[in-house]
Amino acid sequence: MLLGAGLTAAVAALASVTVFRPGPAPATAATPAGVRFWNLPTGSRIAYVHAPATGRRRPTPVVFLHGGPGTPGEGVPVAGAALAADGFDVYAYDQVGAGRSTRLSDVTRYTVARHVADLDAVRAAIGADRIIIVGQSWGGSLAAQYLAAHPEHVAKVVFTSPGVLWPAALPHGDGDPWTRLTPAQKKRYDELTSAPRLLAAAVLLSVNPNAAHAFYGDREADERFHRLALVGKDTTSCPGAPSRTPHENRQGFYVNQITSRDFRKVPDPRPALRRVRTPALVMRGECDFVRWEATRDYRRTLPNSTLVLVRGAGHAIAGDKPTVYTGLLRAFLLGRRLPLPAYTSDDPPR
């Protein structure tokens, strides 16, 4: 009996240090100059940046969608200034649950439908009947969902290193950058993912997401998620590429987890997309970790699409080859000849 009581006390003491004591959660940083907010009718408060058009203003604004889910950019994206100089109003926003945008108290509301509704509310907020969408990674998957739901509101669409169109088509996933970790990175990854509080939250998340959220709050979860992102930030480029400089516009843990889970349940958008004639450009980096079948599905599905291969680029084409990326965007949006040839083979690039 005494041994049992002592063991119970020891476990409780350990739990107070590991599971029940909150981990690090840094203070909220000041909002940078140039960041504004939309209060959307969906209930989302959305942080965004705007590069206004200069010169002869074109009627269709450009909206950039970041990846993740829940991995925002910082500031005006690569090519944004050049597109603004071409006369396009350029917008980039932090999707709900990420960056400086709203964190939802009911995390089960982080759904694909919510993201589509937010994007349509953004379109209305900027007073545009039609928009040009540039979607990176998960942002490409979201762009496809929006195009399937609202084709009349999309003038052109660019998919850069897009994620899978429909997860059920690739039951083994569309690629895993974590397989590229060095031994040192893998050790740090294992340390971060084996933290007792994260493991406890993961168990709760599978049973009751809002209970997980109450136990493991946004600030703590987002900080852990950010540290994981730092471990893997250089795994998605070609071997030998320069290390990336991280920014401090933080990822959203719960929007990533819940949206990813919901995405696996959505109906197949491809029948609707096969009827859409919207001009589409698909960019794939030579070293992208996303499976070739996922990229090829965009070209096969969208009848008015062109796929180009960017040599020397990984998943983040804008970061690895900014000049090539900018040239492709400008040419496509201005209706000029693309600076790279179309990739038409069904076989993966070599």
- Answer whether residue 3 shows pLDDT above 70: no
- Residue 281's nearest CA partner among 159, 161, 163, 147 is 159
Q: Between β-strands 90-93 and 45-51, what pairing exists: parallel, antiparallel or unpaired?
A: antiparallel
With b meaning 16 or more CB within 10 Å and e meaning fewer, what string describes 221-236? Answer: bbbbbbbbeebebbbb
With 0-12 / 13-18 / 19 or more C-beta atoms within 10 angstroms meaning exposed / middle / buried, residue 87 is middle
- Answer whether residue 48 shows pLDDT above 60: yes
Question: What mean pLDDT is reported for the chain?
Answer: 92
Q: In angstroms, rounded to a whole number, what is the distance separating the alpha carbons of residues 95 and 106?
A: 16
Work out the average pLDDT over 100-108. 97
Provide the whole-model pTM.
0.92
**Whole-number pLDDT of residue 4:** 39
* Predicted confidence band of residue 19 (pLDDT cuts 50, 70, 90): low
Q: What is the pLDDT of residues 179-201, one digit of tens each?
A: 999 999 999 999 999 999 999 99
Beta carbons of 313 and 338 less than 8 angstroms apart: no
- Answer whether residue 17 shows pLDDT above 70: no
Q: In angstroms, rounded to a whole number, what is the distance separating the alpha carbons of residues 255 and 114?
A: 11
With 0-12 / 13-18 / 19 or more C-beta atoms within 10 angstroms meaning exposed / middle / buried, residue 173 is exposed
Of the listed ranges 74-83, 221-230, 243-252, 284-293, the one predicted with least confidence: 243-252
- Answer whether residue 97 shows pLDDT above 90: yes
With 0-12 / 13-18 / 19 or more C-beta atoms within 10 angstroms meaning exposed / middle / buried, residue 5 is exposed
The ranges assigned to domains in the chain are: 36-176+258-334
1 three-state secondary structure: coil
**Whole-number pLDDT of residue 108:** 98
CATH 2.40.110.10 holds for 36-176+258-334 = no
**Whole-number pLDDT of residue 18:** 53
Residue 74 tokens, joined: 């910082």
More reliable by pLDDT, 113 or 24: 113
- Answer whether residue 27 shows pLDDT above 90: no
* Predicted confidence band of residue 29 (pLDDT cuts 50, 70, 90): confident
**Whole-number pLDDT of residue 185:** 93
**Whole-number pLDDT of residue 248:** 86
**Whole-number pLDDT of residue 55:** 85
Beta carbons of 120 and 44 less than 8 angstroms apart: no
- Residue 251's nearest CA partner among 71, 68, 30 is 71
Q: What is the dihedral of CA 134, 136, 142, 148, to 10 degrees?
A: 50
Q: How many Å from the N-terminal Cα to the C-terminal Cα in the chain? A: 68
